[in-house]
């Protein structure tokens, strides 16, 4: 592979295009969040503003587009989503853990069957899970005929928690299975031999060993639940979660407030990803250092001690950061020098639009008036003239063949 | 059973049994069975349920095939067309995703250095933690009538009138490919990573061309990953609702949207259930097909 530079170049270009395809739309969407125009766009750039993050805007024709801070529906949706996600974590982590532990205890025949059943929910379409939960609980609610059971059976939050738990438990289950594969069973046996009860073994040996899996499955469950739409849209009934709020907003008409929301989510994701990566690298480096010192202690020879005082090197990521800084500065400079920032610009743009709108309205009214006055008299005349014009156009039948050739003869 | 209790102690055993029983029986099996049952029943108002008219019937499946009794067409062309377009599109998108992901997965798994590989993986994951709806929305901004692409093309003087990307379903297909690409990438990457690099070198030393090496060595090794990725992408595309809601044109329906319509707008739950059963059936058949085709077990598809 190394001997083919052309292929390598091709591959490099391909990877670049691929990443551009992944990130391009997100970057453009993030930029539109700062455009004060009410349609999310980049090119007819109105003004730089934070309005979609704060109070939003009332357009010249009276339509109200709420920004993030002013959107109470969105806030309610986020709260409901959080409640559901917590419920799902509380249910699905213990379920996944129990299923994974039992999987290690049953014999191989039952194991295959059990495993197949346990992973089935992931292979079901999300909408099917949502629908089946709703129809079942509606039946239960109507059978009990009112009372507490009926309330529960028609409670969207409760149904959504159940429906999501159905398939999110599988993800948790898979995480626990992966962790348990590396578990050393002799630890359990040793504890039992030393007189621990089974319950003690579970809480003192197995649980601490599974702690990383518990943490990561809780995070995964939370994220899956929070961003689920396909199942939720059926099972939530009359309530609203974050995703259903977004979907209904998008269907009603797209507003830059959604771009702003997306940007907030992107920022949170990026921060989490970068800090995770940095922490991981730091831990790795520390581990390497410990190994190095151990080696040195075992064999105290200077040759093995790596030279600690390396010269100062600029990390590669520095270039990326510099590039981003440069982009931000250049963009900001452009905005300031063209007067595209601040309250003044926004007011001016709104005024322009309002007067434009008023002009159009006036023009429309004028048209109606002139039409009303002129059509009765000159109606037929203009009509015949129109016909004359159409047939009088010499180019009209040029490609048609018939008339033209006749005329030539 | 006795063994089970002896091994785990009474408290933990009870917890295991309750948790697993609740999950498998109450969350997985009973809802699906009840949905199947409902799909064979007529759509009745709540008061008439359990009465004389509440008998098993095939009306909903008949409706799917032949249309309503008042229509003149021999078959229910509208619904059938939606159904088969959805499936065909899902297959095309699955194949496309595989072609797009294969070079990158191979690069990350076999060619790139450790640091580059990890950086690439992180940068692939980040866009996929963003909600599917919002990613579809990002594409909507690009493809809208006054969207970024149209504006850019018109400003550059390449064309005069805006192209209706959404009406032509370009936006929908791009969005669906965009949404589930990663689910192809990771199974592929995992299976390619376990390939011994010596095998590649051996093939090369024995005079095999790059393409032949891939066809005879790499792809057979990665078949579990291909099966797994294809299944996930197909299932999610065929069952997608969020992306079609945002990106589909008013006259195109995705099969899930049809289900949604029967369920929420027309209030015909039993017909919605029947259509869901069809979707579920297709999914099951597809999984079985993949298992047969690639000779893998279910456990290898979902990891």
Return the pLDDT at A2.
47
Has residue B40 been placed in a domain? no
Return the pLDDT at A391.
44
How buried is residue B209: exposed, middle or buried, by Cβ count under 10 Å (0-12/13-18/19+)?
A: exposed
What average pLDDT score do residues A129-154 get? 81
Residue among A95, A118, A135 whose CB faces B269 most closely: A135
Query: How far apart are the C-alpha atoms of B296 and A79, rounded to whole Å?
Result: 43
The Cα-based distances of A161 to A80, B187, B300 in angstroms read 11, 28, 28
- By C-alpha distance, the chain B residue nearest A169 is B23
- Residue-wise pLDDT for A290-300, tens only, equals 888 887 777 76
Return the pLDDT at A63.
63
Q: In chain B, what's the furthest Cα-to-Cα distance?
A: 79
- Are A125 and B130 within 8 A, CB to CB? no
* A39 part of contact set with chain B, CB < 8 Å: yes
B67 or A173, greater pLDDT? A173
Rg of the Cα atoms in chain B: 24
A355 or A256, greater pLDDT? A256
* A116 part of contact set with chain B, CB < 8 Å: yes
- Residue-wise pLDDT for B219-235, tens only, equals 888 888 888 888 889 98
Has residue B54 been placed in a domain? no
Return the pLDDT at A382.
41
- By C-alpha distance, the chain B residue nearest A174 is B303
Residues of A in contact with B230 (CB under 8 A): none
The torsion angle over the Cα atoms of residues B152, B154, B157 and B159, rounded to 10 degrees, is 130
Task: Domain of residue B195: give its range.
Answer: 67-301
Token pair of A160 as six digits: 């959504």
Residue among A1, A122, A229 whose CB faces B241 most closely: A229
Residue A319 has pLDDT above 80, yes or no: no
Has residue B36 been placed in a domain? no
What average pLDDT score do residues A195-204 get? 84
Provide the 3-class DSSP secondary structure of residue A142: helix
Return the pLDDT at A92.
92
- Are A131 and B272 within 8 A, CB to CB? yes
> Mean pLDDT highest for which of A274-278, B30-34, B294-298?
B30-34
Residues of A in contact with B37 (CB under 8 A): none
- By C-alpha distance, the chain A residue nearest B180 is A22
Return the pLDDT at B69.
67
- Residue-wise pLDDT for A77-90, tens only, equals 889 999 999 999 99
Residues of A in contact with B148 (CB under 8 A): 28, 41-43
Q: B197: pLDDT confidence band, cut at 50, 70 and 90? A: confident
Has residue B262 been placed in a domain? yes
Q: B182: pLDDT confidence band, cut at 50, 70 and 90? A: confident
* A26 part of contact set with chain B, CB < 8 Å: yes
- Are A131 and B235 within 8 A, CB to CB? no
Interface of B with A in 272-291 (CB under 8 A): 272-273, 276, 279-280, 283-284, 287
A255 or A44, greater pLDDT? A255
B242 or A54, greater pLDDT? B242
Q: A172: pLDDT confidence band, cut at 50, 70 and 90? A: very high
* B87 part of contact set with chain A, CB < 8 Å: no
Residues of B in contact with A40 (CB under 8 A): 141
What average pLDDT score do residues A57-78 get? 74
- Give the list of residues 6+ apart from residue A273 with CB closer than 8 angstroms, or none: B122, B125, B126, B129
Q: A399: pLDDT confidence band, cut at 50, 70 and 90? A: very low
CATH code assigned at B233: 1.10.3720.10
Residue A404 has pLDDT above 80, yes or no: no
Residues of A in contact with B11 (CB under 8 A): 199
Q: A344: pLDDT confidence band, cut at 50, 70 and 90? A: low
Has residue B15 been placed in a domain? no
A334 or A231, greater pLDDT? A231
Nearest Cα residue to A257 out of A39, A79, A73, A47: A39
Interface of A with B in 300-339 (CB under 8 A): none
Proportion of chain A above pLDDT 90, given as a percent:
9
Has residue B181 been placed in a domain? yes
Return the pLDDT at A400.
40
Nearest Cα residue to A127 out of A230, A238, A243: A230
* B107 part of contact set with chain A, CB < 8 Å: yes
Has residue B196 been placed in a domain? yes
In chain B, how many domains are there? 1
Residue A268 has pLDDT above 50, yes or no: yes
Return the pLDDT at B295.
79
Return the pLDDT at A168.
92
- Residue-wise pLDDT for B90-104, tens only, equals 999 999 999 888 888
Interface of A with B in 159-178 (CB under 8 A): 162, 165-166, 169-170, 174
Residue A361 has pLDDT above 50, yes or no: yes
What average pLDDT score do residues B94-123 get? 85
Write down the mean pLDDT value for chain A: 77
- Are B132 and A197 within 8 A, CB to CB? no
Return the pLDDT at A408.
37
Phi, psi of A35 (to 5 degrees): -85, 130
- Rounded to two decimals, the pTM is 0.79
Residue among A15, A42, A121 whose CB faces B28 most closely: A121
Residues of B in contact with A138 (CB under 8 A): 269
Q: What is the 3-state secondary structure (H, E, C) of B128-150?
A: HCCCHHHHHHHHHHHHCCCCHHH
Return the pLDDT at A343.
64
* B98 part of contact set with chain A, CB < 8 Å: no
Residue A233 has pLDDT above 80, yes or no: yes
Has residue B11 been placed in a domain? no
Return the pLDDT at B214.
81
Proportion of chain B above pLDDT 90, given as a percent:
2
Nearest Cα residue to A126 out of A160, A78, A85, A75: A160
* B227 part of contact set with chain A, CB < 8 Å: no
Write down the mean pLDDT value for chain B: 81
Query: How far apart are the C-alpha atoms of B178 and B93, rounded to whole Å?
Result: 10
- Are A165 and B245 within 8 A, CB to CB? no
Residue B24 has pLDDT above 80, yes or no: yes
B218 or A252, greater pLDDT? B218
Q: Lowest-pLDDT range, A164-178, A190-204, A287-301, A389-403?
A: A389-403
- By C-alpha distance, the chain B residue nearest A128 is B276
Residue-wise DSSP of A168-222: HHHHHHHHHHHHHTT--HHHHHHHHHTT--HHHHIIIIIHHHHHHHHHHHHHHHH
Query: How far apart are the C-alpha atoms of A194 and A28, rounded to whole Å?
Result: 63
ipTM: 0.86
């Amino acid at each position: 592979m190394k001997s083919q530079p052309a292929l390598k170049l091709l591959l490099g270009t391909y990877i670049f295009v691929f990443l551009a395809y992944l990130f391009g739309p997100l970057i453009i969407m993030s930029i539109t969040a700062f455009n004060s125009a009410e349609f999310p766009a980049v090119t007819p750039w109105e003004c730089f503003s934070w309005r979609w993050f704060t109070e939003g805007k009332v357009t010249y024709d009276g339509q109200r587009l709420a920004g993030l801070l002013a959107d109470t529906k969105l806030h309610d949706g986020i709260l409901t989503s959080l409640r559901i996600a917590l419920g799902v974590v509380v249910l699905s982590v213990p379920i996944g853990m129990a299923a994974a532990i039992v999987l290690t205890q049953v014999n191989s025949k039952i194991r295959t069957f059990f495993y197949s059943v346990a992973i089935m929910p992931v292979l079901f379409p999300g909408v099917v899970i949502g629908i089946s939960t709703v129809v079942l609980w509606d039946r239960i609610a109507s059978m009990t005929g009112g009372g507490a059971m009926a309330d529960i059976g028609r409670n969207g939050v409760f149904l959504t928690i159940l429906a999501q738990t159905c398939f999110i438990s599988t993800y948790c289950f898979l995480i626990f299975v992966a962790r348990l594969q590396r578990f050393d069973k002799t630890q359990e046996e040793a504890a039992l031999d030393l007189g621990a009860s089974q319950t003690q073994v579970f809480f003192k040996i197995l649980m601490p060993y599974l702690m990383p899996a518990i943490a990561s499955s809780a995070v995964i469950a939370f994220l899956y639940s929070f961003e689920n739409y396909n199942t939720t849209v059926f099972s939530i009934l009359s309530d609203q979660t974050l995703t259903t709020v977004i979907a209904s907003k998008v269907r009603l008409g797209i507003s830059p407030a959604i771009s702003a929301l997306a940007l907030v989510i992107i920022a949170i994701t990026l921060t989490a990803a970068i800090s995770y990566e940095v922490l991981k690298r730091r831990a790795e480096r520390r581990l390497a250092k410990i190994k190095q010192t151990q080696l040195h202690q075992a064999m105290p020879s200077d040759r093995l001690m790596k030279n600690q005082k390396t010269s100062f090197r600029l990390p590669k990521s520095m270039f990326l950061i510099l590039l981003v800084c440069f982009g931000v500065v250049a963009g900001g400079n452009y905005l300031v020098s063209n007067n595209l920032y601040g309250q003044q610009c926004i007011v001016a743009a709104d005024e322009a639009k309002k007067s434009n709108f008023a002009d159009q309205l006036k023009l429309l009214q004028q048209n109606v008036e002139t039409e009303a006055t002129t059509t009765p008299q000159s109606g037929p005349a203009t009509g015949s003239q129109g016909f004359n014009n159409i047939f009088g156009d010499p180019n009209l039948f040029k490609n048609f063949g018939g008339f033209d050739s006749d005329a030539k003869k | 059973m006795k063994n089970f209790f002896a091994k785990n102690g009474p408290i933990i055993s009870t917890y295991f049994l309750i948790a697993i029983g609740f999950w498998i029986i109450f969350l997985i099996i009973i809802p699906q069975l009840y949905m199947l049952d409902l799909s064979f029943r007529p759509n009745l108002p709540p008061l008439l349920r359990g009465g004389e008219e509440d008998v098993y019937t095939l009306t909903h499946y008949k409706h799917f095939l032949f249309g309503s009794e008042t229509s003149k067409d021999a078959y229910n062309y509208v619904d059938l067309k939606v159904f088969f377009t959805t499936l065909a599109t899902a297959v095309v998108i699955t194949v496309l995703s595989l072609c797009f992901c294969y070079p990158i997965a191979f690069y990350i798994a076999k060619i790139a250095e450790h640091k580059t590989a990890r950086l690439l993986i992180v940068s692939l994951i980040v866009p996929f933690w963003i909600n599917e709806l919002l990613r579809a929305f990002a594409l909507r901004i690009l493809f809208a009538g006054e969207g970024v692409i149209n504006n850019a093309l018109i400003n550059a003087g390449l064309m005069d009138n805006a192209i209706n990307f959404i009406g032509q379903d370009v936006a929908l297909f791009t969005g669906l490919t965009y949404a589930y690409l990663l689910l192809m990438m990771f199974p592929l990457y995992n299976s390619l990573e376990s390939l011994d690099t010596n095998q590649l070198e051996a093939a090369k030393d024995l005079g095999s061309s790059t393409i032949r090496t891939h066809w005879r060595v790499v792809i057979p090794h990665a078949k579990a990953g291909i099966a797994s990725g294809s299944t996930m992408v197909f299932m999610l595309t065929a069952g997608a609702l969020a992306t079609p809601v945002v990106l589909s044109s008013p006259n195109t329906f995705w099969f899930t949207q049809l289900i949604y319509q029967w369920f929420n707008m027309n209030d015909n739950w039993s017909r919605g259930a029947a259509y869901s059963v069809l979707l579920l059936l297709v999914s099951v058949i597809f999984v079985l097909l993949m298992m047969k085709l690639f000779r893998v077990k279910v456990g290898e598809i979902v990891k």
